[in-house]
Amino acid sequence: MTLYKQATIIGFGLIGSSVARALRENGVCEIIVACDADPDCLAKVQELKLADRCSGDAAEAVRGSDLVVLATPVGTYGDIGKAIAPSLDFGTTVTDVGSVKGCVLKALQPVLPEHVHLIPGHPVAGTEQSGPEAGFASLFAGRWAILTPPEDTDPDALKKLTRMWEAFGSKVEVMTPEHHDLVLAITSHIPHLIAYNIVGTAHDLEGVTDSEVIKFSAGGFRDFTRIAASDPTMWRDVFLNNKEAVLEMLGRFSEDLTALQRAIRWGDGETLFNLFSHTRDVRKQIIEAGQDEEAPDFGRPHDTATRK
Amino acid sequence: MTLYKQATIIGFGLIGSSVARALRENGVCEIIVACDADPDCLAKVQELKLADRCSGDAAEAVRGSDLVVLATPVGTYGDIGKAIAPSLDFGTTVTDVGSVKGCVLKALQPVLPEHVHLIPGHPVAGTEQSGPEAGFASLFAGRWAILTPPEDTDPDALKKLTRMWEAFGSKVEVMTPEHHDLVLAITSHIPHLIAYNIVGTAHDLEGVTDSEVIKFSAGGFRDFTRIAASDPTMWRDVFLNNKEAVLEMLGRFSEDLTALQRAIRWGDGETLFNLFSHTRDVRKQIIEAGQDEEAPDFGRPHDTATRK
C-alpha cells in the first residue's frame, strides 16, 4: 500500500537504512532518495541498491519528496532543518527517528516552513551495530514506534505516518515529547549510560588486568559491552539533549544503588533476596509482552543442536 | 577418558545438571550420583535420566565417590561440609562451582577431613535460567574455569580436576581466591548488581508506569532484565560472601558514574564521546577472545532469513 510518492532519508546508518529497506519491502513509497554527508556511506548505499537516488546535499535530496525522515544524530537537526527548509514542498511530512524528542521540536519548529507537517517519531528498536550494512527490514516488527506530534498537527498527516509504522509491523503510541523523554530515560538512556560506565570502570582498575576482564567477561560483563558498543556520536547527543530526565533518573538509580550497597555492607540478605526475586517477574512480563525472547543463553546463538 | 570412578553432584540446578551432562557426554566418570534437597528436583533428574543414582541425603550420596562437586548456593557449604565429612573416602576430591572463592576455604577447610583434596573451582559460564532442565553439556565449552587450590594441594589431584574441565572444553586458570573474588566482582558481580538495581528503580517510578517500562524495554532495559533474571538465592549469597571486593568495585563504579553525571550536567560532550568510543574496542577484544558472538541483535534469535 503506497502512502508516499517519494521519501528522502537523511542519514543512512542502522536506522535510516532499515527504514529504507522497510519502505521498499512493504511498498510504502514509490521512490527512495538517500542522503548522507559521508561519501563512503553513499557508495555503500549504491552498492547495496538501497535507494533509487543518492545525494550528499540535503537541500537537493528533499526536492519533490512528500516524506522526509531525519535519521542522523539529533544534534545535527538544527542545521539540516535550515538547509532543507527552502526546498520542502507544500504538505510534506517531516519526521525523524531520534531517541530524544523534546529537543526535536525546539530545533526544527523555528526553522521549518509553516506549510510542512512536522511529526517527530522514535522507533524503539535497534542493534549495537552501525552503518547501512547493519540495517534490516524487519528491525521494527513487533516493536513500538512513538510519535510526538505538536498539538496543531494535521490529523491526516498523522494517520498516514502511523500507517507507515504499522506497515513496518510496529505498534504506534502517541505521547508528549516530555513524557517520551522521561520514559526512554529509564528504559534506554540510563541502561546505556551505566553500561558505558562499567566498561570504563573495568578498564581503569590497577588490581585487575584488561586481559582478565576480557577473559572472564562471560560472567555478565560481556552483555554490558554489547549495549555499550552502540554509536558514540548518537549517544553523546542523546545525553546532551535529554539532560534533565537523565539526571533525574540517574539520581534515583544512584539512591537505590546506595541502599543496595548498604544492604551488602550490613549483610542484609533479605533486602537483596526480595529485590532479586522481583526482577524475575518483570522479565516474565517483558517476554509475555513479546518484547524479548525467552531463549536462555544471554544472547548467544540458539544452537539447540549443541544442547544435550 | 575416565578420570573418576564415581562423581556425586550436590545441588542439581543449572550448573550442577550441566556438570552431570558434561561428565557423561565426555565419559569423564563411570557413575553419577545426584543429590538435591528438593524432591521435585530429584524427580526431574530421574525423569531426565541425568544420574545413575539419586539421593536427598548428602552424607549418603557421597559414599564411595572419588569426586564430589558442590553446586548449591555458597551459603550452604558449611552445613553440607559437616554433613558429608564422615562419609568421604580417603583421597576424594571435593570441589565446587560457586561464583565466590574466598569463602569456600573458610567454610570447608575446618570441617572436611585431612584425607580429602579440597580444590575450589568456578566455571565462568551460565545462563539466566535455573533448574535441572536448564542445563546443557556444552555450557562450559570455550569458557574459562578458574581453580583456587590451597598451597598444599596434591599436584595429581589438581591435574586430574584440570583435565576434567578441559574435557568439558574449558580453558583452566589457577589463581588465589582473593584475586578471583576481585576479578569476578567487576566482570560478574557488579554487572549483576546494577542490572538488579535498575529493574528496581524502574519499578518505583511514579511518572512512568510499569506497563510503559515493559512496552519500551527494547531500548536497552530488557537486556538488563535478562541478566537480572538469575537465581535470587545464589546471587544473595554471592554478595553476602564477596562483600569487600564488591563494595570496593561499587565505590569505583559510583565515582565514575558521578563523573559522567557531571559531564552530562555541564554538557561536556567530549568526555562522553571519548568514553563511548573506547567501549567499542573492549567489545571488539571480547569477540576476538571468543567470549561473545558478533551477532548484532542484542541476543535475539539470529534469523537471517528475516533480514533484507
**Cα–Cα distance between A210 and A187 in angstroms, integer?**
29
- Mutation pick from A181, A264, A274, A303 vs chain B, by most beta carbons of B within 10 Å, is A264
Residues of A in contact with B216 (CB under 8 A): 124, 144, 146, 183-184, 187-188
Q: How close does chain A come to B134, measured CA to CA in Å?
A: 8
Considering the domain boundaries, does residue A300 fall inside one? no
What pLDDT was estimated at residue B286?
Answer: 86
Considering the domain boundaries, does residue A301 fall inside one? no
Spatial CA neighbour of B142 closest among A215, A15, A266, A122 = A215
Instruction: State whether B122 and B12 are in the same domain.
Output: yes
**Cα–Cα distance between B272 and A101 in angstroms, integer?**
20
Locate A304 and state its grid cell: 539447540
Please report the number of interchain residue pairs, chain A to chain B, with beta-carbon separation below 8 angstroms: 382
**Cα–Cα distance between A133 and A129 in angstroms, integer?**
9
| Final residue belonging to a domain, choices B144, B175, B206 | B175
- Mutation pick from A136, A143, A181, A187 vs chain B, by most beta carbons of B within 10 Å, is A187
Residues of B in contact with A301 (CB under 8 A): 293, 295, 302
Instruction: State whether B79 and B207 are in the same domain.
Output: no
Locate B227 and state its grid cell: 541478566
Query: Which uninterrupted H or E stretch holds B261?
Result: helix B243-265
Q: How close does chain A come to B210, measured CA to CA in Å?
A: 9
Instruction: State whether B100 and B10 are in the same domain.
Output: yes
Considering the domain boundaries, does residue A306 fall inside one? no
Contact B243 A225 (CB under 8 A): no
What pLDDT was estimated at residue B127?
Answer: 85
Instruction: Give pLDDT < 70 ranges for chain A.
Output: 295-308
Contact A136 B212 (CB under 8 A): no
Spatial CA neighbour of B69 closest among B28, B127, B114 = B28
Spatial CA neighbour of A49 closest among A15, A3, A12 = A12
Q: What is the pTM of this model?
A: 0.88
Instruction: State whether A103 and A242 are in the same domain.
Output: no
What pLDDT was estimated at residue A37?
Answer: 96
DSSP letter (8 states) at residue B128: S
Residues of A in contact with B257 (CB under 8 A): 193-194, 197, 250, 254
**Cα–Cα distance between A273 and B240 in angstroms, integer?**
11
Instruction: State whether B83 and B122 are in the same domain.
Output: yes
What pLDDT was estimated at residue B145?
Answer: 97
Q: Which of B166-170, B211-215, B292-296 has the highest mean pLDDT?
A: B166-170
3-state helix, strand, coil split of chain B in percent (to 5) is 55, 10, 35
What pLDDT was estimated at residue B296?
Answer: 55
Rounded (10°) angle between helices A243-265 and A177-184: 30
What pLDDT was estimated at residue A282?
Answer: 86
pLDDT digits (tens, 9 = 90+) for A110-156: 999 999 999 999 999 988 888 999 999 999 999 999 999 999 999 99
SS3 call for B53:
strand
Locate A248 and state its grid cell: 533525574
DSSP per position, chain A: ---EEEEEEE--SHHHHHHHHHHHHTT-EEEEEEE-S-HHHHHHHHHTT--SEEES-HHHHTTT-SEEEE-S-GGGHHHHHHHHGGGPPTT-EEEE--S--HHHHHHHTTTS-TTSEE--EEE----S--SGGG--GGGGTTSEEEE---TT--HHHHHHHHHHHHHTT-EEEE--HHHHHHHHIIIIIHHHHHHHHHHHHHHT-SSS-HHHHHHTGGGTHHHHHHHTTS-HHHHHHHHHHSHHHHHHHHHHHHHHHHHHHHHHHTT-HHHHHHHHHHHHHHHHHHHHTTSS---SSTTS---GGG--
Considering the domain boundaries, does residue A239 fall inside one? yes
| Strand-strand pairing, B144-147 and B121-123 | antiparallel
What pLDDT was estimated at residue A219?
Answer: 81
Locate B104 and state its grid cell: 569456600
Spatial CA neighbour of A98 closest among A197, A173, A16 = A16
What pLDDT was estimated at residue B204?
Answer: 85
Q: How close does chain A come to B23, measured CA to CA in Å?
A: 12
pLDDT digits (tens, 9 = 90+) for B63-109: 999 999 999 999 999 999 999 999 999 999 999 999 999 999 999 99
Contact A137, B308 (CB under 8 A): yes
**Cα–Cα distance between B97 and B88 in angstroms, integer?**
19
Instruction: State whether A184 and A171 are in the same domain.
Output: no
| Final residue belonging to a domain, choices B175, B203, B230 | B175
| Final residue belonging to a domain, choices A142, A175, A208 | A175
- Residue B21 pLDDT > 50, yes or no? yes
Considering the domain boundaries, does residue B45 fall inside one? yes
Residues of B in contact with A260 (CB under 8 A): 193, 196-197
What pLDDT was estimated at residue B129?
Answer: 85
Name the pLDDT band for B257 (thresholds 50, 70, 90): very high
- Bridge partners for B255 per DSSP: none
Name the pLDDT band for B305 (thresholds 50, 70, 90): very low
What pLDDT was estimated at residue B295?
Answer: 64
What pLDDT was estimated at residue A304?
Answer: 36
Which residues fall within 8 angstroms of residue A179, CB to CB, at 6 or more apart? B207
Considering only alpha carbons, which residue of chain B is nearest residue A26?
B308
**Cα–Cα distance between A158 and A45 in angstroms, integer?**
29
Extract the runs of DSSP E, i.e. beta strands, from chain B: 4-10, 29-35, 53-55, 67-70, 93-96, 117-118, 121-123, 144-147, 171-174
Locate B253 and state its grid cell: 563504579
Instruction: State whether B23 and B163 are in the same domain.
Output: yes
Instruction: State whether A42 and A113 are in the same domain.
Output: yes
**Cα–Cα distance between A273 and B233 in angstroms, integer?**
6
Instruction: State whether A124 and A18 are in the same domain.
Output: yes
pLDDT digits (tens, 9 = 90+) for B178-230: 999 999 999 999 999 999 999 999 988 888 998 999 989 888 898 888 888 88
Considering the domain boundaries, does residue A190 fall inside one? yes
Contact A188 B215 (CB under 8 A): no
Residues of A in contact with B200 (CB under 8 A): 256, 275, 278-279
- Residue B126 pLDDT > 80, yes or no? yes
Considering only alpha carbons, which residue of chain A is nearest residue B257?
A197
Instruction: Provide the Cα torsion A27, A32, A36, A39; round to 10°.
Output: 110
What pLDDT was estimated at residue A305?
Answer: 34
Domain that holds residue A204: 179-288
DSSP per position, A252-273: HHHHHHHHHHHHHHTT-HHHHH
Domain count, chain B: 2
Name the pLDDT band for B1 (thresholds 50, 70, 90): confident
Q: What are phi and psi of B176, to 5 degrees?
A: -75, 155
Amino acid at A173: E
Instruction: State whether B211 and B122 are in the same domain.
Output: no
**Cα–Cα distance between B204 and A245 in angstroms, integer?**
15
Considering the domain boundaries, does residue A295 fall inside one? no
Instruction: State whether A186 and A132 are in the same domain.
Output: no
- Residue B284 pLDDT > 90, yes or no? no
Q: How close does chain B come to A72, measured CA to CA in Å?
A: 16
b/e sequence A51-84, b meaning 16+ C-beta within 10 Å = beebbeebbebbbebbbbbbbbbbbbbbebbbbb
Instruction: State whether B255 and B282 are in the same domain.
Output: yes
Look up the CATH number of the domain holding residue B201. Answer: 1.10.3660.10
Considering the domain boundaries, does residue A266 fall inside one? yes
Look up the CATH number of the domain holding residue A35. Answer: 3.40.50.720
More confident residue, B30 or B127: B30
